[in-house]
Amino acid sequence: MPTTTFDKESIKASIVGKLQRYNGRTIKEASNQQIYRALASTVRDQIMQKWMISRQERKTSKAKRLYYLSVEFLMGRSLYCNILNLVSTDAYQQALKELDINIDDVLKEEPEPALGNGGLGRLAACFMDSLASLDLPTMGCSIRYEYGLFRQKIIDGQQVELPDYWLGNGNVWEMPVMEDACEVHFNGHVDMTEENGRMTFVHRDYNTVEAIPYDMPIVGYDTSTVNSLRLWSARSPKRMNLSDFGEGHYVQAAAEKELAEAISNILYPEDKHYEGKLLRLKQQYFFTSATLQYILRDFKKLNGPDWQRLPEQVVIHINDTHPGLAIPELMRLLMDQEGLGWDEAQAIVSKTMAYTNHTIMAEALEKWPEDMVRTLLPRIHMILVEMNRRLCARLWNHFPGQAERVGKMAIISYGQIHMANLCVAMTFNTNGVSQLHGDILKAETFRDFHAVMPEKFSAITNGITHRRWLMACNPKLTSLINESIGTDWIKDTSLLSNLAPFADDAAFREKFAAIKRENKLRLTEYLKRQQGVTVDPDFMFDAQSKRLHEYKRQMLNALHILVLYNRIVNDASFTMEPRAFIFGSKAAPGYNRAKQIIRFINALSRLIDAHPRARQMLQVVFLENYDVSSAQVLIPATELSEQLSTASKEASGTGNMKYMMNGAVTIGTMDGANVEISQQVGMDNIYIFGMRSDTVLDMYRDGTYNPMTIYETNHEIRQALTQLIDGTLLPEAPGAFQELYHSLLMADWGSLADPYFVLKDFGSYSMAQQRVNQDYADKDKWNRMAVINTAMSGVFSSDRTIREYNDTIWHMTPLHKH
């Protein structure tokens, strides 16, 4: 494959030349932002060549292509990872050094595309990296939100949300593809007519929104494959014109334009809690319809209208139910546009689409009001009604007379569209994201579906890209690994286990610990610079970073810290290994209890800082605006990883894997992928506590749990809870945590007392923490555990995950030999 080589000298020349041409500046005069753009567009030039070739390769080889549909792709910054995947870090580093440019200062200039909330969006990003690296032809499809997830500031100990206008300085990586623009139609009505004994459906009087695609290149590691991430932007077809202005319609025209363009304006910051908001429904249909139209056009161009072959050429993956309208949309296009009959269309649809579920939390399962769908998407609604009729007829055969059961499985019931039922019923595969989660889907969430269609269910454990989450964020550890076991592990991460014997090598452990120490210093500097906080690098670094949610139990961690504080204050002889507890977490803006927990953590931090003896042993740090970039600093510096979800509630978790890979030891419940982490490292190298998932599920069923008995018998818990409301924590607003306190002790309308068993698991957690404290004092023991964690993390590479998806669900052929 003939490509221009980008050696050190040509990189230097390119950067200097671009600064001259774009900015009329020399390196010395240029700002970091200008240097960033010159550097990034140099890297882009290198990618463009490969991108072109990759596109050609896919077309000429007629390879099956995956479309991965997701409302979120939490990509993080691209520049460094792109250089890494081009296997050009040395050339770029040297070039920059010779130009006297500090690479870290330049990398910081890239705005982070925060087009996701948490795990689901970051998983999609890791998948894109692995798909390209494994040469699997893929297009990721989503929305080009102008505002990503809000930026978080902590002001007076509380979360404040600021807008994230990430496109302010433009986006070096995106390319508009005007020739693929299309229209998406909303509202209006459907005319049915009969022509030659066939019903035809014509959508009339609709409102049009234009969908403009912007493609971003996804570079595979050490391969020529470059895939695309296609982000759709909404544009009003109404252009401003002078006659509008003259006739006084200008304002009205502007308002309509704004309404259409609102569709791709902002990412919904809710993670887990579903609300039936019209704009969200519009977003989902907008990007799904645009994507499906493109898929069919592209297929037709390559294969002609041979729709029976669609499932051979295309697989469409639905990342949770959010893009689930792709199902009726594909039906609509095949029938109304391409003239297929229902049965033919349905057979194609259910051979082409697969679905992954990411949560069992009932409040997160999407249900759209039927009226809303009927008004906004009249033709889609008709299709859903017919799908539902046929599904229910089939289910009646299976469960005769069992109306309640069939109702629970229906696509439409009690005036609501049940997206999860639609996805399970109409796709060929329903996947869970860890072994435990897969089991719970079969036994609980989709129990009845499993009885009817067991062959559809799979469980493929999530993974993370080791290129970003080890090689890019922890270059020193990467070098140590390379020196010790060679570099083959980069393409086959199972080989990381060759590191395990080094756990017993004192000299190796020494080096491993020294790198951890350097990463701790890097985090310390980051915290100092970003938020003016000083942290002692001699403290143990203990971190819990993830979205704030009650089921993730940041509260368990915080209450335990308060108990430690009380032990120190109440007992002058109490000592412990000094520890910095670091939290990184955003709360959904409307999730009050979560915001109270953030306030509690910050109040706790202040309480400890004010106590001369407590602050010798304890520190609480709230890392502001946790995002992909700060995770890349936090995780390599962490020694203890907190994974505290109530067993059964965390579908997988992926932060747990990132920490493990960087040599943190986990304290956690037997939940999600923690179960598999414990199997990899063995029980001696992890701190497992708390109720198991089956016990939790039984406790929910029998409903006898009463946290009040724990409150009454455990005086440490009683004291800590009382401090929440007696003014110890927030003398300026003593009532602020009343609701939080209440939720842990009292049942309320519609909610149990302590619904996530914080008090129930507290004792077990506290004991596990005592073991952590003892073991940390034994440096050899601790470092041995840390090494084992890195060594056994290979299976959690998303390369393994993607291979499994491909073997069991997608069945694509890699563009190159592997």
Is the Cβ of residue 276 or residue 763 nearer to ligand 26W in the bound state?
A: 276
Of 547, 549, 560, 760, the active-site residue reads 547
Residue 66 dihedral angles phi and psi, to the nearest 5° = -95, 135
**Euclidean distance between the first and the last CA atom of the chain, given in angstroms as a whole number:** 17
Is the Cβ of residue 396 or residue 551 nearer to ligand 26W in the bound state?
A: 551
State the Cα–Cα distance between residues 687 and 682, nearest whole angstrom: 10
Decide if residue 120 touches ligand 26W (CB under 6 A).
Answer: yes
Which residue in the set 462, 554, 674, 801 belongs to the binding site for ligand 26W (CB under 6 A)? 462
Decide if residue 672 touches ligand 26W (CB under 6 A).
Answer: yes
Task: Kindly write out the interface string for residues 253-292 of this chain, putting x where it contacts ligand 26W by CB under 6 A and - elsewhere.
Answer: -----------------xxx-x------------------
Decide if residue 646 touches ligand 26W (CB under 6 A).
Answer: no
Decide if residue 140 touches ligand 26W (CB under 6 A).
Answer: no
Decide if residue 135 touches ligand 26W (CB under 6 A).
Answer: no
State the Cα–Cα distance between residues 298 and 786, nearest whole angstrom: 49
Which residues, in sequence order, are CB contacts of 7 under 8 Å at separation 6+?
Answer: 91
Decide if residue 795 touches ligand 26W (CB under 6 A).
Answer: no
For 74, the token pair is 């939490």
Decide if residue 364 touches ligand 26W (CB under 6 A).
Answer: yes
Of 37, 332, 552, 579, the active-site residue reads 552
Decide if residue 433 touches ligand 26W (CB under 6 A).
Answer: yes
Of 50, 522, 546, 586, the active-site residue reads 546
Which of 555, 604, 585 has the alpha carbon at shortest distance from 745?
555
Is the Cβ of residue 57 or residue 550 nearer to ligand 26W in the bound state?
A: 550
Which residue in the set 654, 674, 685, 783 belongs to the binding site for ligand 26W (CB under 6 A)? 654
Is the Cβ of residue 161 or residue 518 nearer to ligand 26W in the bound state?
A: 161
Which residues, in sequence order, are CB contacts of 634 under 8 Å at separation 6+?
Answer: 523, 543, 545, 582, 584, 623, 626
How many CA atoms within 13 Å lie on the side-chain side of 607? 24
Of 356, 493, 654, 666, the active-site residue reads 654
- Report whether 65 contacts 139 (CB < 8 A): yes
Which residue in the set 465, 652, 789, 798 belongs to the binding site for ligand 26W (CB under 6 A)? 652
Whether 658 sits among the annotated catalytic residues: the reply is yes
**Positive or negative: CA dihedral 565, 566, 572, 576:** negative
Whether 358 sits among the annotated catalytic residues: the reply is yes
Secondary structure element (H or E) that encloses residue 11, with its range: helix 8-18
Q: How many residues belong to the site for ligand 26W (CB under 6 A)? A: 21
Is the Cβ of residue 457 or residue 705 nearer to ligand 26W in the bound state?
A: 457
Of 77, 203, 358, 442, the active-site residue reads 358
| Residues facing residue 643 across a β-bridge | 668
Cβ of residue 417: shortest distance to ligand 26W, in angstroms?
14
Which of 814, 146, 126 has the alpha carbon at shortest distance from 493?
126
Decide if residue 657 touches ligand 26W (CB under 6 A).
Answer: no
Cβ of residue 365: shortest distance to ligand 26W, in angstroms?
8
Of 658, 760, 784, 800, the active-site residue reads 658
Cβ of residue 677: shortest distance to ligand 26W, in angstroms?
13
Could you say which DSSP state residue 498 is in? G
For 788, the token pair is 């084992």
Which residue in the set 44, 50, 58, 358 belongs to the binding site for ligand 26W (CB under 6 A)? 358
Decide if residue 441 touches ligand 26W (CB under 6 A).
Answer: no
Task: Kindly write out the interface string for residues 216-255 of this chain, putting x where it contacts ligand 26W by CB under 6 A and - elsewhere.
Answer: ----------------------------------------
For 59, the token pair is 């077309």
Is the Cβ of residue 335 or residue 647 nearer to ligand 26W in the bound state?
A: 647
Cβ of residue 236: shortest distance to ligand 26W, in angstroms?
26
Decide if residue 671 touches ligand 26W (CB under 6 A).
Answer: no
Decide if residue 550 touches ligand 26W (CB under 6 A).
Answer: no
For 309, the token pair is 């072959």
How does 649-666 read in b/e, with b if 16+ C-beta sit within 10 Å? bbbbbbbbbbbbbbbbbb
Is the Cβ of residue 367 or residue 579 nearer to ligand 26W in the bound state?
A: 367
Cβ of residue 636: shortest distance to ligand 26W, in angstroms?
20
Decide if residue 659 touches ligand 26W (CB under 6 A).
Answer: no
Query: Which residue shows structure tokens 């982490």?
Result: 677
* Strands laid side by side in the 687-688 sheet: 618-623, 579-584, 540-545, 640-643, 665-668, 687-688
Cβ of residue 320: shortest distance to ligand 26W, in angstroms?
5
State the Cα–Cα distance between residues 46 and 672, nearest whole angstrom: 40
Decide if residue 107 touches ligand 26W (CB under 6 A).
Answer: no
Kindly indicate which of the ranges 376-384, 404-412, 495-503, 648-656 contains the residues binding ligand 26W, using the contact rule CB under 6 A: 648-656
Kindly indicate which of the ranges 117-125, 468-476, 618-626, 790-798 contains the residues binding ligand 26W, using the contact rule CB under 6 A: 117-125
State the Cα–Cα distance between residues 772 and 668, nearest whole angstrom: 12
Neighbours of 173 (CB within 10 A): 23
Secondary structure element (H or E) that encloses residue 650, with its range: none
Residue nearest to ligand 26W (CB): 119
Is the Cβ of residue 223 or residue 654 nearer to ligand 26W in the bound state?
A: 654
Is the Cβ of residue 251 or residue 443 nearer to ligand 26W in the bound state?
A: 443
Decide if residue 553 touches ligand 26W (CB under 6 A).
Answer: no
Distance of CA 82 to the CA centre of its chain: 20
Secondary structure element (H or E) that encloses residue 154, with its range: strand 151-155
Which residue in the set 328, 378, 653, 794 belongs to the binding site for ligand 26W (CB under 6 A)? 653
C-alpha distance from residue 811 to each of 60, 355, 693, 789 (Å): 19, 15, 33, 32
Kindly indicate which of the ranges 113-121, 180-188, 286-294, 398-406 contains the residues binding ligand 26W, using the contact rule CB under 6 A: 113-121
| Residues facing residue 68 across a β-bridge | 140, 317
Decide if residue 150 touches ligand 26W (CB under 6 A).
Answer: no
Could you say which DSSP state residue 165 is in? B
- Report whether 624 contacts 153 (CB < 8 A): yes
Is the Cβ of residue 315 or residue 440 nearer to ligand 26W in the bound state?
A: 440
How does 545-575 read in b/e, with b if 16+ C-beta sit within 10 Å? bbbbbbbbbbbbbbbbbbbbbbebeeeeeee
Decide if residue 127 touches ligand 26W (CB under 6 A).
Answer: no
Is the Cβ of residue 332 or residue 547 nearer to ligand 26W in the bound state?
A: 547
Decide if residue 119 touches ligand 26W (CB under 6 A).
Answer: yes
Is the Cβ of residue 111 or residue 118 nearer to ligand 26W in the bound state?
A: 118
Q: What is the 3-state secondary structure (H, E, C) of 218-266?
A: EECCCCCCEEEEEEEEEECCCCCCHHHHHCCCHHHHHHHHHHHHHHHCE
Torsion angle in degrees (nearest 10) through CA of 65, 66, 69, 75: -100
Is the Cβ of residue 34 or residue 545 nearer to ligand 26W in the bound state?
A: 545
Decide if residue 335 touches ligand 26W (CB under 6 A).
Answer: no
Decide if residue 762 touches ligand 26W (CB under 6 A).
Answer: no
Whether 546 sits among the annotated catalytic residues: the reply is yes
Task: Kindly write out the interface string for residues 305-324 of this chain, putting x where it contacts ligand 26W by CB under 6 A and - elsewhere.
Answer: ---------------x----
State the Cα–Cα distance between residues 171 and 37, nearest whole angstrom: 9
The footprint of ligand 26W (CB under 6 A) covers 118-120, 123, 270-272, 274, 320, 358-359, 364, 366, 433, 462, 650-654, 672
Enzyme catalytic residues: 358, 546-547, 552, 654, 658
